[in-house]
Amino acid sequence: MAYITRLPVRADTAAESPGLQPPSGAGHPGGGLAALVTSSGNVGSTTIHCPFDDSAIGELPLSSDDDVDEAFRVARAAQRDWAARPMSARAAVFRRFAELVLEERSALLDLIQRETGKARFSAFEEVADVSRWASYAAHKGPQHLREGRRNGAFPVLTRSTERFVPQGVVGIITPWNYPFTLPAGDAIPALLAGNAVVLKPDSQTPHTALFALELLRRAGLPEDLMQIVVGPGSRIGPAMIERADFMMFTGSTATGRSVAEGCASQLIGFSAELGGKNPMLVLADADVHRATAGAVNACFSNSGQLCISIERIYVHRDIWDDFVPAFLERVRAMRLAPGLGWDPDMGSLIGAAQLETVAAHVDNAITQGATVLAGGRPRPDLGPYFYEPTVLADVRPGMPVAREETFGPVVSLYRVDSEEEAIGAANDSEYGLNASVWSRRRGTAVARRLEAGTVNINEGYAAAWASHDSPMGGMKASGVGRRHGAEGFRKYTEPQTIAAQRLVPVGGQLGLGHRRWSEWLTAGVRILNRFS
């Protein structure tokens, strides 16, 4: 494999040290971000480490249960004034934020990489996505949230209006793999809908979320409206559920079930994007050149640490001999390295626990007879948590790598004899988050038969995710609710119906008596049934 072993300096900051210290100074995230944490400092602090070399990049105070309580109190007080602002004034904040994200892209890229160890291009996906989503929210979100007329019980006599009332204070819990996209992406629609937000980012990547909050405040978001608490999910999560009016969670299916149980006990709504074991189907008429290039990106972006990345590829036997060598050639040519330059194709895993899971899945598969076609080993010479992009064959159903989410740079190849076999194998999973179909003619027909919340044709994941006007989420054990589209905004509201009746009351009798009233109403219903 073509691995880069040095730590490159970015070409646009050649005078900058290649070390991994957090950026500081005016307009850049640094020590000042600690002040944005809602914390009294009574429960200690946490040190954040860079996955590239495990060096310390910052220290932040932890939040106590009392701090969580204070965060919700402050946010709730600010929410009332925010909800009373015109929608146009709220939307203007996110238009400014979208531009600030692009202006601060270098600082954001540096910080995202330092906290996650991902390659710079993978970090750039976050920056571009958040800017586009913020702009979409500012321009289209008000349309999704606008109150409107609905058909009343009786034409002319009944006027019915639906409006969308903010939930109040939304609790958001996000993971480490997309520390900018997920905190900002979930907060934006909740805030635009008139809510306040209390956010708990993952304890491994809190600086990026704090910088997002700094940019939102610079864009005009009221200071108290969004609060960030830092601490272990096992403690902070239940405390948030007890106080929130709605919960948004992204993470594992197991934890998602616990969140769902907590929300059920509080009788509050929740939405969750959970795990995935996402399939790619390469049909007999696929463009092999495009499919192999797309598969590399779909499997190994963000070092495979992506809920919607591909972990299973089903290749039709007619093009197996063309696809596999071409795919392996691309995988073996991938460039791995730490650092802030643009050259690497793949960076590090987030930490020791993720490295252990990836290695265990691969080692177990090898022990049970799987064949390693590419990769298959850690790379401590590059950094403590690097693992090679890995391609397996001869994977059988009983292996953990066959059915469990690896969440790393590992994909299994399966040869199939027919389109039917590919569809059946793809759907044979408890998960249903994302899928990919590669075909010149059969993509749409096959996509409609796949049990996944998003299906990409001749793309791995980005086409569906970046289609912000369409809903994104999972079927089966992959989640509840949706991001993006109208539902991505309206889920943060309580729909309210206001119906005004005039002249003839729907439930009254007008002195006609029960029988006469029922006859009159029967005639009216018959007329209405002809038209609706």
Task: To the nearest 10°, report the CA torsion of 17, 20, 22, 23.
Answer: 30
CA distances from 120 to 215, 226, 299, 341, 365 (A): 20, 28, 17, 7, 31
Active site residue 307: yes
Instruction: Yes or no: say if 77 and 54 are a contact pair by the CB < 8 Å rule.
Output: no
Question: Comparing C-alpha atoms, which of 206, 178, 194 is closest to residue 80?
Answer: 194
CA angle 97, 100, 103 (to 5 degrees): 160
Question: Comparing C-alpha atoms, which of 429, 408, 406 is closest to residue 477?
Answer: 429
The contacts of residue 424 (CB under 8 Å, 6+ apart) are none
**Number of other residues whose CB lies within 10 A of the CB of residue 319:** 19
As given in the structure block, the two tokens for residue 7 are 């730590």
DSSP 8-state symbol, 9: P
Give the β-pairing of 454-457 and 434-438.
Answer: parallel
The contacts of residue 168 (CB under 8 Å, 6+ apart) are 76, 79, 195, 196, 245, 246
Helix count and strand count (H, E) for the chain: 17, 20
DSSP 8-state symbol, 8: P
Question: Comparing C-alpha atoms, which of 295, 389, 379, 391 is closest to residue 338?
Answer: 379
Beta-bridge partner residues of 250: 273
Active site residue 125: no
Instruction: Yes or no: say if 294 and 263 are a contact pair by the CB < 8 Å rule.
Output: no
User: Which member of 125, 126, 273, 405 is catalytic?
Assistant: 273
Question: Comparing C-alpha atoms, which of 150, 151, 106, 145 is closest to residue 124?
Answer: 106
Instruction: Please give the biggest Cα pair distance in the chain.
Output: 90
- Give, for 44, the enclosing helix (H) or strand (E): none
User: Which member of 115, 214, 307, 459 is catalytic?
Assistant: 307
Catalytic positions, please?
273, 307
